[in-house]
Chain A
Amino acid sequence: MRAVDAVMECLKAEGVDVVFGYPGGANLPTYDAFVDAGIHHVLVRHEAGGGHAAAGYAKATGKVGVALGTSGPGATNLVTPIMDAMMDSVPVVFLTGQVRTELLGTDGFQEADILGITMPAVKHSWMIQHPLEIPRVIHEAFHVARTGRPGPVVVDIPMDLSRADIPYEPVTDVRLPGYQPTTEGNVKQIRQAAKALAAARRPVIYAGGGVISAGAAEELTEFATSDRFPVTCTLNGLGGFPAPHEQWLGMLGMHGTRAANYAMDEADLICAIGARFDDRITGKLSEFAPRAKFIHIDIDPAEISKNVPAHIPIVGDAKNVLTKLVNEYRAVGADPARLEEWWQRIHEWQERHPLRYDDSEDGEIKPQRVVEALYEVTGGDAIVSTDVGQHQMWAAQYFHFDKPRKWLTSGGLGTMGFGLPAAMGAQVGCKDETVICITGDGSVQMNMQEMATCAQEGIPIKVFILNNGYLGMVRQWQQLFWDRRYSHVDMGQYPDFVKLAEAYGGSGIRIESKDKLIDGIRQALDTPGPVLVDVRVTREENVYPMIAPGAAARDMVG
Chain B
Amino acid sequence: MGEPGTKELLSLEELEASGMARSGRKHVLSILVENKPGVLTRIAGLFARRGFNIDTLTVGPTDDEHISRVTLTVDGALHPIDQVTKQLHKLVNVLKIRDLEPDDTVARELALFKIAVDGPQRAEVLQICEIFRGNVVDVTRRAIIIEITGSTDKIEAFEGMVRPFGLIEMMRTGEIAISRGRSET
Contacts and interface: CB of A to CB of B under 8 A. Distances in A.
A481 B90 contact: no
Given A119-B42, A548-B6, A549-B1, 5 more contacts: A115-B38, A116-B41, A123-B90, A302-B87, A550-B4
B4 A549 contact: yes
B6 A549 contact: yes
A483 interface: yes
A550 B83 contact: no
B51 to A, nearest CB: 13
A279 interface: yes
B37 A129 contact: yes
Interface stretch (A171-179, A221-229, A510-518): A171-179
Q: How large is the interface on B (under 10, 10 to 19, 20 to 34, 35 or more residues)?
A: 20 to 34
Contacts of B1: 473-474, 477, 549
Main SS of chain B's interface residues?
Answer: mixed
B95 A302 contact: no
Nearest to A151: B90
A138 to B, nearest CB: 15
Interface string A104-128: 0000000000011001100111010
A481 to B, nearest CB: 5
A301 B37 contact: no
B45 interface: yes
Sort A-B residue pairs by CB-CB distance and give the 9 closest, nearest first.
A549-B5, A302-B86, A124-B92, A549-B3, A179-B92, A481-B6, A178-B95, A482-B7, A550-B4
B42 A302 contact: no
Interface string A290-302: 0000000000111
A144 interface: yes
Interface residues of A, number: 29
Contacts, number: 59
Contacts of A120: 45, 49
A302 B41 contact: no
A343 B113 CA distance: 73
B71 interface: no
Interface in B25-47: 33-34, 37-38, 41-42, 45
A353 interface: no
B41 A477 contact: no
Contact of B92 (A178, A473, A550): A178
A124 B45 CA distance: 13
A120 B45 CA distance: 7
A129 B42 CA distance: 18
Contacts of B83: 302, 306
Contact of B3 (A115, A129, A144, A550): A550
A473 B42 CA distance: 36
A395 B13 CA distance: 41
Interface of A: 115-116, 119-120, 123-125, 127, 129, 144, 176-179, 279, 300-302, 305-306, 473-474, 477, 481-483, 548-550
A253 to B, nearest CB: 14
Contact of B34 (A116, A125, A177, A474): A177
A416 B93 CA distance: 33
Interface in B61-99: 82-83, 86-87, 89-95
A125 B41 CA distance: 12
Contacts of A124: 91-92
B94 A178 contact: yes
A477 B86 contact: no
A301 B89 CA distance: 9
28 contacts: A116-B41, A119-B38, A120-B49, A123-B90, A123-B92, A144-B92, A177-B34, A178-B34, A178-B91, A178-B92, A178-B94, A179-B92, A279-B3, A300-B90, A301-B89, A302-B83, A302-B86, A302-B87, A302-B89, A305-B82, A473-B1, A474-B1, A477-B1, A481-B5, A481-B6, A483-B7, A549-B3, A550-B3
Interface string B1-20: 10111110000000000000
Contacts of A279: 3
A176 B92 contact: yes
Given A129-B37, A179-B92, A549-B4, A301 B45 contact: no
A425 to B, nearest CB: 26
Interface of B: 1, 3-7, 33-34, 37-38, 41-42, 45, 49, 82-83, 86-87, 89-95
Contacts of B3: 279, 549-550
B89 A477 contact: no
Nearest to B46: A120
Contacts of A125: 38
Given A119-B41, A120-B45, A178-B94, A301 B86 contact: yes
B17 to A, nearest CB: 14
A307 to B, nearest CB: 10
B93 A178 contact: yes
A474 B41 CA distance: 37
Nearest to B87: A302
A458 B95 CA distance: 48
Contacts of A177: 34, 95
Nearest to A178: B95
Nearest to A300: B90
Contacts of A119: 38, 41-42, 45
A224 to B, nearest CB: 29
Contacts of B92: 123-124, 144, 176, 178-179
Contacts of A481: 5-7
Contacts of B4: 549-550
Contacts of B37: 127, 129
A550 B38 contact: no
